[in-house]
Amino acid sequence: MTAEQIPILAAGVLLVAFLYSSVGHAGASGYIAVMTLAGLAPEVVRPTALALNILVASIAFWQFRRAGHFSWKLFWPFALLAVPLAFLGGYVSLPTRAFQVLVGVVLLFSAFRFFARPGPDETKGDPPRSAALAIGGGIGLLSGLTGTGGGIFLTPVVLFMKWAPVKTAGAVSALFILLNSAAGLLGNLSATRGFPAPAFALLAAAGVGGTAGSWLGSNRLPPVAIKRLLAVVLVIAGVKLILAR
């Protein structure tokens, strides 16, 4: 990363962090897109995205929890298998191209649903324990493989199944992303034995964007507005996965 690239990358990271954190996400898919467009190597992009995810997810979780939106009862079944499987996904390197395209299409369909009909902010009770464990484990493995925290997959599932209101889903996703990103980064570092220096230059921008976005989402935005923003996030993530090389 050259000195001329740093301001442009920082601006892109700040914008991604602001947008994603407003819905309880951390922005890994957006960071990956920004860094890939800037020409950074994959071995730099993946751990850097996870490091930025850890920072922004920490900020988002603190803001949403402080506003009273977090539910431990909803969170822990999703996280129990997700964290070790995220470590596994971060350690291994598999050909995931076809799966990325499929997941990208699913995310775009989810985005369309939120754009077309956000729906009322209602719930139908907690998820079955077995379903939460299976969904969390699958998302954890996928998050480690793709270098994301898994929130772009968890939040739509929780909202479509009406297991939680939108801000609770955001709070749960923030901590889910934090733990999965930490596990994925540890797995990556265990395999590569190194951490890219360019990541440090982008952390400050992510911190500013994440703080502003998560405060707005947890305290000011109504649920319908958050669902619209979530649709934008899903479009970005879906297109990124489909176009990834």
Write out pLDDT tens, residues 48-65: 888 999 999 999 999 999
Write out pLDDT tens, residues 107-126: 787 788 777 666 666 788 88
How high is the mean pLDDT of the chain?
85
Write out pLDDT tens, residues 79-98: 999 989 988 877 776 555 66
Q: What is the per-residue pLDDT for 73?
A: 95
Length of the chain: 245
Domain count, the chain: 1
Percent of the chain scoring above 70 in pLDDT: 90
Percent of the chain scoring above 90 in pLDDT: 40
pLDDT band of residue 102 (cuts 50, 70, 90) is low
Average pLDDT over residues 21-45: 83
CA separation for the pair 35, 119 (Å, rounded): 34
Q: What is the per-residue pLDDT for 117?
A: 63
Is 184 a residue whose pLDDT tops 90? no
Average pLDDT over residues 34-51: 82
Our CA dihedral for 54, 59, 60, 66, rounded to 10 degrees, sits at 140
pLDDT band of residue 7 (cuts 50, 70, 90) is confident
Cβ neighbours of 94 (radius 10 Å):
9
With tokens 């400050």, the residue in question is 204
Q: Which domain holds residue 38?
A: 5-243
Please tell me the least confidently modeled range out of 32-41, 54-63, 199-208: 32-41
What is the per-residue DSSP string for 56-87? HHHHHHHHHHHTT---HHHHHHHHHHHHHHHH
DSSP secondary structure letter of residue 127: P
